[in-house]
């Protein structure tokens, strides 16, 4: 549900750990932070915790009604930075109801608003940086990076300095972050991260996906499922697929996800120029059985990103038993590689092309073994129950 009043809400029963998440948006297109928050909250509820969410979204946004959480939509936000003026007063009035607050992401008002809203109170707050301190952005967005450096020294470093704990989802993320920004002034911790298991009916999920993309028929395919964005390396994937397509005439490519920047039209032209347009499918955002069916039906999941903090979609693919083909800029690449759950290459055309060619050169038995290893690695490392338990431990450490 979505709360519209700034009055305090009733206190939940005693004995529960009460957690308040603050995030810029809960729109489905916002990706990993939203998905991680939802799945972790579901697991925390099974552990006896009570979770609420504050978001900068406009009240009545269509996606809010579908969420199984108490959501306080305190927008409307500004187009840039997601500033929402009601958040700070609401947090100051309600922070005492919670044992801890957790801000998701930085460089937007979710983090700064959390700092302002919790400052001076007794309730601690923690921050998930979600990869937003990665030095990749210095080269990819140099002007924006310079602005972020100024904002860091003016405000954002104080937000992290005053946090009870700054949370990273992988050791690789933490290592990269402290290369780019001074880290000696804030308390750090790597916490387990993951997603919910795919426990639906495999045959029904595959059928749902095939119905959703009828032009694909029963053909074999490689799957990309994420935002269609330059950071994700979709152009490398189209070029790499074109390079291996002739030797694999029975193989198609599915590029699924929201087109946030209008890049899809350029990618479609690229596919046409390379002669593979009829073999590349663009179903848009996939959810529910259609999404899980895509993971189950694909030959392999491919994420050729130039930067990826964790990659919830990689964990989802592994949960579904799909081999994962990723670059060494996806921060769980070491875990994938050591488990034999997929293949890893550099984030350039030669790397992505070799990634596809190496996988397609494997025999059926080897591919099946890789899928089984992916499933086993998910259960061991990326299950949501362990992620929720570790987050609870972090909150309890802060309280202690």
State yes or no: pLDDT of 206 exceeds 60: yes
Q: Domain extents for the chain?
A: 2-196+384-399, 202-382
Beta sheet of 165-168, edge-to-edge order = 2-3, 70-73, 50-55, 18-23, 100-104, 125-128, 165-168, 188-190
**Architecture in CATH of 202-382:** 3-Layer(aba) Sandwich (3.40)
Mean pLDDT, rounded, for 260-281:
96
From residue 208, give the alpha-carbon distance in Å to each of 86, 203, 204, 205, 215: 42, 9, 6, 5, 14
Q: How many residues does the chain have?
A: 400
Q: Fold match between 2-196+384-399 and 202-382?
A: yes
| Lowest mean pLDDT across 28-32, 79-83, 167-171, 317-321 | 28-32
Mean pLDDT, rounded, for 57-86:
94
From residue 146, give the alpha-carbon distance in Å to each of 128, 138, 139, 361: 22, 8, 11, 44
Contact between 281 and 214 (Cβ < 8 Å): no
Contact between 70 and 12 (Cβ < 8 Å): no
State yes or no: pLDDT of 4 exceeds 70: no
| Cα–Cα dist 322/315, whole Å | 10
Strand ranges (DSSP E) for the chain?
2-3, 18-23, 50-55, 70-73, 100-104, 125-128, 165-168, 188-190, 220-225, 251-256, 280-284, 300-303, 324-327, 342-345
What pLDDT digit, counting tens, does each position of 300-333 carry?
999 999 999 899 999 999 999 999 999 999 999 9
| The two three-digit tokens of residue 202, written as one number | 């495999």
Model's pTM, two decimal places? 0.85
Q: Which of the 8 DSSP states describes residue 54?
A: E
**Architecture in CATH of 2-196+384-399:** 3-Layer(aba) Sandwich (3.40)
What pLDDT digit, counting tens, does each position of 329-364 carry?
999 999 999 999 999 999 999 999 999 999 999 999
Measured between alpha carbons, how far apart are the two ends of the chain, in Å?
A: 32
């Amino acid at each position: 549900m979505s709360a519209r009043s700034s009055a305090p809400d009733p206190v939940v029963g005693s004995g529960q750990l009460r957690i308040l998440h603050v995030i810029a948006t809960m729109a489905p297109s916002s990706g990993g932070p939203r998905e991680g928050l939802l799945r972790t909250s579901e697991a925390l509820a099974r552990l006896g915790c009570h979770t609420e969410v504050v978001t900068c979204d406009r009240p009545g946004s269509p996606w809010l009604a579908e969420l199984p959480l108490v959501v306080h939509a305190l927008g409307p936000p500004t187009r840039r930075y997601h500033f929402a003026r009601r958040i700070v007063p609401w947090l100051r009035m309600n922070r005492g109801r919670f044992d801890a607050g957790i801000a998701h992401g930085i460089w937007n008002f979710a983090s700064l608003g959390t700092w302002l809203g919790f400052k001076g109170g007794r309730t601690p707050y923690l921050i998930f940086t979600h990869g937003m301190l990665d030095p990749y952005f210095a080269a990819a967005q140099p002007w924006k990076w310079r602005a972020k450096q100024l904002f860091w020294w003016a405000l954002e470093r104080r937000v992290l300095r005053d946090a009870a704990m700054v949370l990273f989802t992988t050791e690789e993320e933490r290592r990269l972050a402290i290369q780019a920004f001074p880290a000696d002034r804030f308390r750090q911790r790597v916490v387990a991260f993951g997603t919910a298991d795919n426990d639906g009916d495999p045959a029904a999920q595959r059928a749902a996906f095939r119905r959703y993309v009828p032009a694909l028929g029963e053909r074999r395919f490689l799957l990309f499922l994420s935002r269609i964005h330059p950071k994700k390396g979709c152009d490398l994937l189209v070029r790499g697929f074109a390079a291996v397509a002739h030797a694999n005439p029975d193989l198609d490519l599915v590029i699924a996800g929201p087109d946030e920047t209008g890049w899809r039209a350029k990618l479609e032209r690229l596919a046409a120029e390379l002669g593979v347009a009829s073999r590349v499918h663009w179903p848009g955002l996939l959810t529910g059985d259609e999404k899980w069916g895509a993971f189950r039906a694909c030959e392999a999941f491919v994420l050729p990103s130039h930067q990826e903090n964790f990659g919830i979609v990689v964990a989802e693919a592994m949960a579904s038993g799909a081999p994962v083909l990723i670059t060494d800029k996806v921060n769980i690449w070491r875990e994938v590689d050591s488990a034999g759950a997929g293949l890893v290459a550099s984030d350039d055309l030669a790397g992505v092309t070799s990634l596809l060619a190496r996988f397609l050169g494997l025999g059926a038995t080897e591919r099946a073994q890789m899928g089984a290893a992916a499933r086993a690695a998910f259960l061991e490392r990326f299950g949501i129950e362990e992620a929720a338990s570790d987050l609870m431990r972090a909150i309890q450490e802060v309280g202690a």
